[in-house]
Each structure stands twice: as structure tokens, then as C-alpha cells.
Amino acid sequence: MGRFKVGCVVGAFVLGISVNLAVAGGILKAGSQAPDFKLPGDQGAVVSLAQSEGKTVVLYFYPKDMTPGCTKEACSFRDHYQDLLKKGVVLLAISVDPLASHKEFQAKYSLPFPLLSDNAKRTVKKYGVWQWNKQRKAYGTVRSTFLIGPDGRILKVWSPVTVEGHAEEILKSL
């Protein structure tokens, strides 16, 4: 019985190290199972990845509403949204900004896709996009996009993203 208790403690300790290393290891890679999430969206509904099971999903993470790079990226996705829909793609965007900020961003730029709020930072951490920024000396979201197949596996990852031409690059990958 004593061995069992020690074994469990050691096992838990080893598991804890593995989990921490996985999070510290960076952004999820192609071939990985995309972690599910349930996040509130700017339209008032809770959105999960599981709701898109059987469909191709473009999931993009962005640092902050109303900033120049994020606005340019969102507007590019808006401008190519119908092309993505024609290909059967579900487009979802996530940042750690609050819903009020998302609603303002969505309304100002007429964004037709959900902006999901990850205030608790669980999803950005699961995907490995919440990282230390040496220049800013703070944690933040690395602009990243995940192409997720109908089976829930990550097909392709862009990280960090170059905003210029990104939506077009995704369309070419479909």
C-alpha cells in the first residue's frame, strides 16, 4: 500500500511536469487534435468548436480589438468571408478582450463572423498562443491561425501570422 501511494505521488508529479512542458512547448502543431472550447461570442451565444464537427474551421487568434493589425486582419477576413462560406468553412476569431469590446469592433467594421471572448485565457493557453513577449515584457496573444479539418485535427498552422495576404493564403490552402 505504501508503494502505491508513493507511485501515485510520483506519477502525479511527472504528469504535472509533462503538462507544464506541453504548455510551455508552444503552439499546437498540424496533426494535433484541436482542443474544444466554449466561449461567449459578440452575438450573445456561446460557441464551441464541437458545434462545427464535420466542417472545416478557420480559427484565428488575434491580440486586440481596434488595433491597426487586428483591424486589417479582421477586415480582410470580412472581405473574403463569402469565399470561405462557399468552401464550406466556419470562421471563428478569438481574443482575450471582453465582449463589450468585441461588440464595438464587430459593429464598427461590420464583421459577419463570431468574435469570441477568452477572458479567462484558457483557450489561448490550450492552443499555445498565449506567450511571453520579450519586447513588451508581458504575456500576450501571438497572432495565429489554425485550419481544422472536419475530424477535429489541425491541418495547418500559421504562426506568427503576417496580416498582409493572410486570408488569401488560407483560401489557397483550402
75 is catalytic: no
**Residue whose C-alpha cell is 488560407:** 170
- β partners of residue 152: none
Burial class (CB in 10 A: 0-12, 13-18, 19+), 76: middle
Q: Cα dist. 104→78, 107, 132, 157 in Å?
A: 15, 5, 27, 28
Rounded CA-CA distance 84/163 in Å is 17
Which among 27, 39, 70, 154 is annotated as catalytic?
70
DSSP 153: B
Backbone angles phi, psi at 147, to 5 degrees: -95, 115
CB of 85 closer than 8 Å to CB of 65: no
Alpha helices in 31-67 (DSSP H): none
The catalytic residues are: 70
